[in-house]
Amino acid sequence: MSKKTGFSKILLAVVILVIIVAVSIAAGLYYSNRSNTKPPIVLGVLTPLSPPADYISGRQILVTAQIFANYTNSHGGLLGRKVVVVSQNENLDPSQAIASLQQMVTQDHIVGLIGPWESLVALPVANATQSYPVITFFTYSWSDAITANHYKYVFRVGVFNSIIGAQLAKYLEWANISNNIVILAEQSPFGIGFAQALNQSIHSYNQSAIVNTYYTPPGITDYTSVLLKINSLTPTPKALVVALNVPGVITANKEIYDMGLQNKMKVVQAVDWPTYDGGVSWWQAVGQAGVGGVYASYAPPHLKVYTDSGQYYVQQFEKIEGHPPAFWLIWYWDCLRIWAQAIQATGSTNPDVLANYIANINITASTGGYITFINNPTPGSPYWHQWVGYQQYIYQFTQYNQSTADTQCIYPPNAC
């Protein structure tokens, strides 16, 4: 064998050895990196994303969650882990929503949930968290039972029927229109609970007051028959209180104003749905006749956002949606801040650990003040995992095409 041939074989052996070592190192690094990669923390959004449900609100809730995930990840995530959002359409169907919750908890491994909207769906989902535990937040789902049933993992940073009905009754009394009213309400835990609360509160002021109530099924597209009954009531009601969800409430108001009922009685929106898109849907539905229309809201006059993250959220939301977020969306933002703080403070994603921490939290509210939860253990009390740091206001449209940001606060006069 020549020296040249021997050298070539030695060189080839060295090259092969180098390749083997390099591959071994690369493989080791690969598997090491894989073992060190932390799984994401998953936030679930179960919300209406198509008709007949309130898909406008649902889309905005999903946008809120996505902005929060982006914000949190840009600040290092939670426990060094990335936050990802998974979503499902609840579509005004309780059975579908519960099946989606099961999938999100058992397959997607969500750590938090927001978005169940209409009480028709929100209440069954709240109940289902007992079987599929996950920290769940509500803001503008009104059924008392959401908190009155004392579910361990459910928290509400928002309002509920008993409070809303009692506070709206005070406005109707102040406006001298409470002695004869008619309520048009959705036949759901939201609508039925609200109508009962308002009826009870009005009769606490005036036992002889006339209160007629008409319920309509969720998702209907024509209210003419029930509006004709309201139009024929004798004596004529002084006020028509509308307690319906989007999109039905838009159709109902178009028909109310087309029929001219606003000329016979004061039309009062129990839900501040005109604010959901800054007033666009209101004016599209009722036209110039909508001047003078009133709605109840929990947004304080000249709403301000005080937290840095909240200001970031408002800016990002407006870029995406073209208008500022409604106050209840800012409440959702604060729900997510509470959720994130609980994870960071406890170092855990266990729902029991998080629930115990959140029940006793004290955090600055983005709209001012603090968020703490009342935890009244009395069976059936809605003041359980419930925040009450808000006040009801009545706003009025004073000119055509007016944005809801510019409507006039008329009640309570000392707070407007």
Q: What count of other Cβ atoms lies within 10 Å of the Cβ of residue 343?
A: 23
Helix 224-231 / helix 248-259 crossing angle, nearest 10 deg: 40
Q: Judge whether 54 and 117 are in contact, CB under 8 Å.
A: yes
Query: Over the Cα atoms of the chain, what is R_g?
Result: 27
Q: For 373-390, b where at least 16 C-beta lie within 10 A, e where not — what string? A: beeeeeeeebbbbbbeeb
Check residue 302 and give its pLDDT.
86
The residue length of the chain stands at 416
- CA distance linking residue 285 with residue 257, whole number of Å: 9
**pTM of the model as a whole:** 0.88
Check residue 382 and give its pLDDT.
98
Amino acid identity of residue 214, one-letter, is Y
**210-216 and 180-186 beta bridge pairing:** parallel
Check residue 24 and give its pLDDT.
43
Q: How far is CA 297 from CA 77, 269, 349, in A?
A: 34, 9, 35
Check residue 219 and give its pLDDT.
87
Check residue 37 and give its pLDDT.
84
Burial of 256 (0-12, 13-18, 19+ CB in 10 A): buried
SS3 for 371? Answer: strand
Q: Judge whether 42 and 86 are in contact, CB under 8 Å.
A: yes
**Owner of token pair 């959220």:** 313
User: pLDDT by residue (tens digit) across 81-97?
Assistant: 999 999 999 999 999 99
List, in order of start, the domains of the chain with CATH numbers.
Answer: 41-159+304-372 (3.40.50.2300), 162-297+393-411 (3.40.50.2300)
- CA distance linking residue 416 with residue 160, whole number of Å: 22
Helix/strand/coil (H/E/C) assignment for every residue in 39-68: CCEEEEEEECCCCCCCHHHHHHHHHHHHHH
DSSP letter (8 states) at residue 8: H
User: pLDDT by residue (tens digit) across 270-310?
Assistant: 999 999 999 999 999 999 999 999 999 999 998 999 999 99
Structure tokens at 356: 């115990």
Check residue 12 and give its pLDDT.
40
Q: Judge whether 352 and 340 are in contact, CB under 8 Å.
A: no
Low-confidence residues of the chain: pLDDT under 70: 1-36
